[in-house]
Amino acid sequence: MAVRQKPVEEQVIVITGASSGIGLATAHAFRSRGVKGLVLVARNEEALRSIAEELSGGRTCAIAVTADVSRREDLERVARTAIDTFGGFDTWVNDAAVALYGNVAEIPIEDQRQLFEVNYWGVVNGSMIAADHLRHRGGTIVNVGSVLSERAMILQTQYSASKHAVKAFTDGLRMELESQEAPVAVTLVKPSSIDTPYVEHARNYLDRETAVPPPAYDPHLVAKAIVFAAEHRRREITIGLSGWVIGAMGKVAPRLVDKAMEWTGHGSQTTDHPERPGMRDNLYQAREDGDIYSSLPGEPRKTSLLLEAQLHPFVSAAILAGIAAGVAALFVAPLMGARRPRRPPRRRPVPRYQRTVRHSGNGHDKRVLGPGHVSQRSAREGRPQLRH
């Protein structure tokens, strides 16, 4: 059965982790498209209700559902609320996540388990609940992973491990739904470093404030990818060339990337800039929310050519082909012309009457031009000698 995806304007969207960062940017992006309904999910009830009120209006109705994604019963309540309010949902976005910074040996196992309860089991429970509903009506499941799904980052080992697990689960779920001919698209979105309160929400075991490795990208780019996936079937979408390169290099030269991270990992993931203490450490309970961006200085990158190439592959291929043809015309053709061997000068054709040459055989070795030819001898030459 073919995957069925409605236009965004006709959809009801469930978004976990909707109270800040990528989730909040995604809610705004769907609202700007005039989506029918938004079901916003997070632990911070006060912030979530304020956001829902802000996004409601026009064609869009937004509702807030306070829930902890680490508890399956909370996510089941989210699905029931969406069905009772809108008659169902069409896209489910698993975005909620928590983070830990520190050396593996210094982080308690309890904290590591809690991270997996949110980052992995929250995605598993949300995806399974969504799949049960969507297999009868069609739709999309979007799981927000990371470029760290491909390559572990030093000092974020547990987070990297959880995103590896999310990728594996997403791939397995996609195959099973396809084999069952369920009309459900499953997309994994893999952001690079994104400028969100992620770093301020993290539980930190380092000696300095935390940061993401540069360059940081704008969270609205991730939101753009998620909105696109809601109505276009894509296996994976990566945001940020820098993160993609690290993942690719990790496969080609893993030891080199290991060493690079060992040398730069601490400096690239810490800062002396004071962060908002009210946001710090939401591992077990909600903290201050409501912002899309972090408080770190510097402007994030607003564009990603890699993202555009994935969203519009045929246009990108045509542009690249045109660029390649232009380069060939400018450089290759003159070069080939300079290397072309010079032709030898063309010889004039020999007249037919000069092509047959006979020798007289009389020892004089004179040129004779065949019978019937009128001799051009001068009078002094006299008659020809008789042959002996």
Q: DSSP class of residue 328? A: I
Report pLDDT for 110: 98
Place of tokens 């309860």: 117
Of 101, 120, 159, 198, catalytic: 159
Report pLDDT for 344: 67
Distance CA(101)–CA(116), nearest Å, equals: 14
| Helical packing angle, 121-134 and 72-86, nearest 10° | 30
Distance CA(184)–CA(373), nearest Å, equals: 97
**Chain segment 289-306, per-residue pLDDT in tens:** 999 999 999 999 999 999
Q: Catalytic annotation on 159?
A: yes
Reference 187, options 5, 38, 1; nearest CA is 5
Let me know the angle formed at the C-alpha of 141 by 138 and 143, rounded to the nearest 5 degrees.
175
Contact assessment for residue 63 and residue 39, using Cβ atoms and an 8 Å cutoff = yes
Around Cβ 185, how many Cβ atoms within 10 Å?
25
Q: What is the mean pLDDT of residues 233-249?
A: 94
Place of tokens 């069952």: 180
The type of residue at 342 is R
Containing 309, the helix (H) or strand (E) segment is: helix 305-311
> Phi and psi (nearest 5°) for 344?
-65, 155
Rg (CA), the chain: 37
Report pLDDT for 10: 97
Report pLDDT for 346: 67
Place of tokens 């890699």: 306
**Chain segment 179-196, per-residue pLDDT in tens:** 999 999 999 999 999 999
Let me know the angle formed at the C-alpha of 107 by 96 and 167, rounded to the nearest 5 degrees.
40
Per DSSP, the chain holds a count of helices (H) and strands (E) of: 13, 13
Reference 176, options 226, 121, 118, 127; nearest CA is 127
Report residue 313 as tokens.
């592959």
Q: What is the mean pLDDT of residues 363-385?
A: 52
Report pLDDT for 323: 44
**Can you tell me whether residue 137 is helix, strand or coil?**
coil
Domains and CATH numbers, the chain: 8-303 (3.40.50.720)
Question: How many CA atoms lie less than 13 Å away from 21 in the CB half-sphere?
Answer: 24
Distance CA(35)–CA(45), nearest Å, equals: 22
The type of residue at 184 is V
